[in-house]
Amino acid sequence: MVCIELSAKNDRLIQYTSQAYFNLTKEYGITPSMSRRGNCYDNAMAENFFSILKTECIYRQKTKTFQLARELIGDFIYFYNHERIQLKTGEAPLARRLSA
């Protein structure tokens, strides 16, 4: 199952609250999740991760196919969770979660 977190921030994201959008997410097995209006802090961790993903992975590679991009991103997510040491904690995210 895939979960997408959307934050309203300064706009209302009307396109993401339509019935057509929810039908499409259901068709693809995606569970949408929307934060409360005006609460931009709900997405801070996700936005940080996607910023790192773009900076350390996507912008450094030019993939020729969608399949290669999927593999590259999958490999990076594994690296990020299992091997990449976080400056703040001094350990990889999965190791941190398992030690809690």
Q: Which of 77 and 43 is assigned the larger pLDDT?
A: 77
- Quote the distance between the C-alpha of residue 44 and its chain's center: 11
Task: Tell me what pLDDT residue 35 has.
Answer: 65
Q: How confident is the model at residue 9 (pLDDT cuts 50, 70, 90)?
A: very low
Q: What mean pLDDT, rounded, does the chain reach? A: 79
Name residue, tokens 């005006």.
38
Q: Are 42 and 7 in contact, with CB atoms under 8 Å apart?
A: yes
- Quick: pLDDT tens for 24-54: 888 988 877 766 666 666 677 778 888 999 9
Task: Tell me what pLDDT residue 10 has.
Answer: 44
Q: Is the pLDDT of residue 15 over 70?
A: no
- Quote the distance between the C-alpha of residue 93 and its chain's center: 14
What's the CA gap between 40 and 34, in Å, rounded? 11
Q: Is pTM beyond 0.75 here?
A: no
Q: Are 42 and 35 in contact, with CB atoms under 8 Å apart?
A: yes
